[in-house]
Structure 1
């Protein structure tokens, strides 16, 4: 019999390794883009030390950052690891609560489906509406507004996933168990919820026209890739963990018989 404690421990362990590997991806793919964005910001600051007539104006002394870039790079692994562990624990709790509601006899498929739903609702829906920007991009005065709207899209993403699943089950009960009908109805409910939310939520675009578009999208895709790595490893890792647990339990029952 699978206990919640064993499922939780497996989730924490899988989340730990997923966080470490996601941090590695972010370090390799994201950090060079952050360095480039910071260099652009510093170059723009140096250019502002000249007035309109071309006279040199003394530059204001820049405040030293609280954490150096080396410290930030080291903190990246700590942050992704802690996030992975926390997410793994939450994932295990969600798996335990929702397992019986998922219409599959395979724990592995249930774990993969839950990970896919989490990635779409928590990561992909907010990303498409409010993609992340490098540190040098964005108005500090609007950080509260950007944070609130991002959290709203996260909640809406989860609601959209729930709406899609509920609609697919409704279609199965009313229109039959035909897979393509369930997929079409569920997908339509999901898209309708997301599109309606996108139209209501305000548009936020604070990227200056002078900022290189290639660097901007390289950073954004590195950010998305980090999240995709985390959720992919979490889903497949937890699926393997619960599948192994199932085989061990089955073998123990056979041996006892």
Structure 2
């Protein structure tokens, strides 16, 4: 594929990621944010219960009631800002960055995956990025609501999650390369099945070898609230990558599809 086409695909991928991020923000604000509010409310209630005073002497000193507790901390960023501007900024930056990466993966895959057109290739690329970058790591280390996770294990959990992303991407790329090399002997379908099975086996072994995050959430935290938050987080990613695949597919088709009256020889090489 010509360098100019790759650059144009990169720009379109970042734009598609931006638009998909806007769609994901709307979903997150309506569906995910209420579950975060529930999780924070539970955590605050539990903290208040643990911090309840054992005795009261404030009745003898009227001014003491206005003195804040020693463990209260002023909130640096309000919850309203976090759930609007902060959430939107994070999703838009995430969408643009991964949209650019996905567009480069599309540029590599287009023309090398059989007779799939730009829209189908974009859909498969988006699905592949979603599975390797988010879904597989999520299955091993699912999302945890803010202010709920064990603070003593934040560093460990963050390291393990990004390690899982790296391993998933490396194994996924390796299986794609192996599948392409097997295709001449096994055929495209059988090679794809073999590569997919190999990816599943290797990731299952890594799941068994890598440590769990059993202490990521406090035991007293309600399971229903945790499940609601994790399903909302997964749904947000599904919406983001579905939107990206559809939007970028349209952009890529308009860029790469031969225009009426243009001969196949004049079309961009792939």
- TM-score interval (norm. to shorter): 0.7 to 0.9
The corresponding residue for 1:199 is 208
Q: Does 1:234 align with 2:234?
A: no
Return the structure number with greater relative CO, CA threshold 8 A, min gap 6: 2
More displaced 10-residue stretch of structure 1: 108-117 or 148-157? 108-117
Q: Does 1:30 align with 2:39?
A: no
Alignment TM-score, normalising by the size of structure 2: 0.84
Alignment TM-score, normalising by the size of structure 1: 0.87
Contact 1:163 1:189 in 2 (8 A): no
SS of the residue aligned with 2:259?
helix
Contact 1:111 1:239 in 2 (8 A): yes
Report deviation, 1:142. Answer: 1.6
> Against the structure 1 CA distance between its residues 95 and 177, is the aligned structure 2 distance closer, same or farther, given a 3 Å change threshold?
same
> Against the structure 1 CA distance between its residues 150 and 37, is the aligned structure 2 distance closer, same or farther, given a 3 Å change threshold?
same
Report deviation, 1:6. Answer: 2.2
SS of the residue aligned with 2:80?
helix
Gap runs ≥5 in structure 1 = none
RMSD of the TM alignment (CA)? 2.4
Q: Does 1:71 align with 2:113?
A: no
Q: Where do 1:214-233 residues align within 5 Å?
A: 214-233=224-243
The corresponding residue for 1:124 is 135
The corresponding residue for 2:62 is none
CA distance in 2, matches of 1:49, 1:137: 16
SS of the residue aligned with 1:251?
coil
Q: Does 1:246 align with 2:256?
A: yes
Aligned residues: 250
Report deviation, 1:90. Answer: 2.0
SS of the residue aligned with 2:146?
coil
Contact 2:28 2:232 in 1 (8 A): yes
The corresponding residue for 2:183 is 172
Gap runs ≥5 in structure 2 = 58-67
The corresponding residue for 2:194 is 185
> Against the structure 1 CA distance between its residues 242 and 50, is the aligned structure 2 distance closer, same or farther, given a 3 Å change threshold?
closer
More displaced 10-residue stretch of structure 1: 122-131 or 71-80? 71-80
